[in-house]
């Protein structure tokens, strides 16, 4: 007897898989969702013990996740164990691939920064000649951004800046602290906009697929979720040339199973999605699959002290944060680098970072007591360029615990990132000095690729099937019944956290798919 086909099979349950499930099920389309990890159960799996009482102080067996700087004794067990699912990179091209395998994906760990892309990103080639334009513009996404921001309850302020499009915000009307106002004023002097942050409030302390998207899909009665299902391959109907289902492996038993589907949405995350398409040997007539890997540079920054806030006098002087949206290479060109960087600004009236003070022992304790409450720091979010040479390949010699090929990641930064970072540090230091702050640290070194957890671009969007993997609707050029909704479709990285744009694209693609299914085109 022929196996029954599901209407839409969604691979991955993070923000974009969750958005696809929400939109499609609310339109009456039955969806089945596969996720490689388990359902999260906070009550069952958390341990209310001090870290000192846990094996290895809660950090797990040494070597479990050597590339994950974000790991701590409080969340170490959430990250993928690199001994179970390894990956590789050239010795001189370190890459930090930060992965989560559980229902909801990385969405519970999202930092919640919520920025729209602008036509400086969508039409970046028009501005500086590098790379390719997206086959869509800001006006194509604007109405979807509105709806996504309402779901995620984004706070922010209206700024009227073309590179920083305004949206449907819960308006942030809080006044600046004294030190922040001085930094804002210093920015005006140098033509640098210092704005309120934009962040998703979410609901009940969380802004994830788990609590904002999947519950709506479940409520329709149209969503079936299968956890612990590791997809090995997307299968193809030899008669039609279209995808017709998947082969997946149970995470615990290693039993191999198949599932047939009318439509497949791949939302496993940029590199996992790319790995699956490569292993399935599909959707690469363009030769672009796996290439143009981008992310954003993080890590470089300055640390300052606000002098008059020291010695317990911080009340009303420090506190709050800001966002400086990309301000370089808009109407004029900056020497040394293309594109833009943004800046996260923090003005804390809490504990001071001991690493910024060159003291030890009792002298350090004394200095910290004095400096606490006076902290001011900045961190870069810089766009990296989509070079063809930055790519991933399948490594069939090194297999994961389920016998599947792993990824080799080859990517490196260039003088564009180095020059961008120098401009950033020098500009922030000048503004901090003008604001009257004492600069203690100027760190020009940024973290390795991957650290930002914003990997993008390896299945990029293009109107030309010879230049990209998907069209303007996130539909693969090679198979009309395969859609990709994660950040692998991004053509340029931008300086923005990609999550809101990912969700917006997923919403738009899902509505297009629903209509195409209604018409019988898919």
Alpha-carbon distance of 15 to 374, in angstroms, equals 37
Contact criterion met (CB below 8 Å) for 264 and 234: yes
Say yes or no to pLDDT of 377 above 60: yes
pTM, rounded to two decimals: 0.96
Alpha-carbon distance of 353 to 135, in angstroms, equals 45
pLDDT at 2: 55
pLDDT at 343: 98
Q: How far is CA 116 from CA 284, 405, 496, in A?
A: 29, 36, 7
Which letter does DSSP use for residue 78 in this model? G
Helix 178-189 / helix 415-434 crossing angle, nearest 10 deg = 120
Taking every pair of Cα atoms in the chain, the longest distance, rounded to a whole number of angstroms, is 79
Alpha-carbon distance of 446 to 352, in angstroms, equals 21
Closest CA to 324 of 204, 460, 188, 128: 188
Q: Which band of pLDDT confidence, cut at 50, 70 and 90, is reported for residue 42?
A: low
pLDDT at 323: 98
Give the list of residues 6+ apart from residue 366 with CB closer than 8 angstroms, or none.
none
pLDDT tens profile 423-437: 999 999 999 999 999
| 240 CB neighbour count, 10 Å cutoff | 10
pLDDT tens profile 321-353: 999 999 999 999 999 999 999 999 999 999 999
pLDDT tens profile 99-149: 999 999 999 999 999 999 999 999 999 999 999 999 999 999 999 999 999
Say yes or no to pLDDT of 73 above 80: no
pLDDT at 1: 40
What are the helix (H) ranges across 328-475?
A: 361-371, 415-434
Give the list of residues 6+ apart from residue 262 with CB closer than 8 angstroms, or none.
5, 6, 7, 8, 481, 517, 522
pLDDT tens profile 175-197: 999 999 999 999 999 999 999 99
């Amino acid at each position: 007897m022929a196996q029954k086909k599901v209407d839409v099979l969604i691979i991955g349950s993070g923000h974009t898989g969750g958005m696809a499930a929400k939109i499609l099920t609310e339109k009456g389309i039955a969806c089945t969702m596969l996720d490689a990890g388990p359902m999260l159960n906070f009550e069952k799996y958390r341990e209310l013990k001090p870290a000192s009482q846990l094996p290895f102080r809660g950090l797990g067996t040494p070597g479990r996740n050597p590339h994950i700087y974000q790991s701590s004794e409080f969340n170490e067990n959430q990250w993928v164990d690199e001994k179970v699912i390894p990956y590789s990179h050239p010795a001189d091209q370190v890459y930090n691939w930060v992965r989560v395998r559980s229902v909801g994906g990385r969405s519970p760990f999202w930092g919640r920064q919520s920025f729209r892309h602008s036509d400086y990103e969508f039409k970046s080639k028009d501005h500086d000649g590098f790379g390719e334009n997206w086959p869509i513009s800001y006006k194509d996404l604007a109405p979807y951004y509105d709806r996504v921001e309402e779901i995620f309850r984004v706070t922010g302020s209206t700024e009227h800046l073309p590179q920083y499009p305004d949206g449907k915000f819960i308006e942030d009307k809080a006044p600046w602290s004294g030190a922040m106002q001085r930094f804002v004023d210093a920015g005006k002097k140098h033509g640098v906009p210092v704005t309120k942050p934009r962040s998703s409030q979410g609901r009940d302390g969380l802004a994830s697929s788990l609590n904002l998207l999947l519950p709506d899909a479940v409520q329709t009665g149209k969503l079936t979720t299968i956890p612990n299902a590791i997809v090995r391959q997307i299968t193809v109907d030899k008669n039609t040339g279209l995808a017709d289902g998947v082969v997946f492996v149970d995470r615990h038993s290693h039993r191999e199973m198949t599932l047939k589907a009318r439509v497949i949405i791949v939302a496993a995350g940029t590199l996992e999605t790319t790995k699956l398409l490569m292993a399935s040997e599909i959707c690469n007539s363009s030769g672009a699959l796996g290439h143009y890997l981008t992310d954003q540079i993080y890590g470089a920054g300055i640390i300052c002290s606000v002098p008059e806030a020291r010695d317990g006098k911080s009340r009303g002087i420090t506190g709050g944060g800001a966002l400086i949206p990309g301000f370089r290479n808009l109407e004029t060109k900056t020497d040394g680098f293309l594109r833009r960087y943004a800046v996260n600004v923090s003005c804390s009236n809490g504990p001071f970072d001991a690493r910024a003070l060159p003291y030890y022992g009792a002298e350090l304790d004394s200095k910290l007591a004095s400096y606490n409450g006076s902290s001011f720091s900045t961190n870069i979010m810089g766009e990296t360029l989509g070079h063809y040479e930055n790519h991933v390949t399948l490594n069939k010699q090194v297999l994961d615990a389920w016998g599947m090929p792993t990824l080799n990641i080859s990517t490196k930064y260039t003088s564009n990132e180095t020059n961008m970072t120098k401009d950033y540090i020098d500009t922030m230091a000048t503004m901090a000095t003008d604001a009257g702050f004492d600069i203690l640290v100027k760190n020009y070194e940024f973290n390795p690729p991957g650290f930002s957890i914003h990997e993008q671009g390896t299945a990029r969007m293009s109107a030309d099937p010879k230049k990209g993997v998907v069209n303007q609707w996130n539909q693969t050029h090679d198979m009309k019944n395969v859609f990709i909704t994660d950040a692998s479709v991004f053509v340029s990285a931008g300086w923005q956290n990609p999550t809101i744009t990912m969700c917006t694209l997923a919403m738009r693609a899902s509505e297009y798919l629903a209509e195409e299914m209604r018409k019988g085109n898919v």
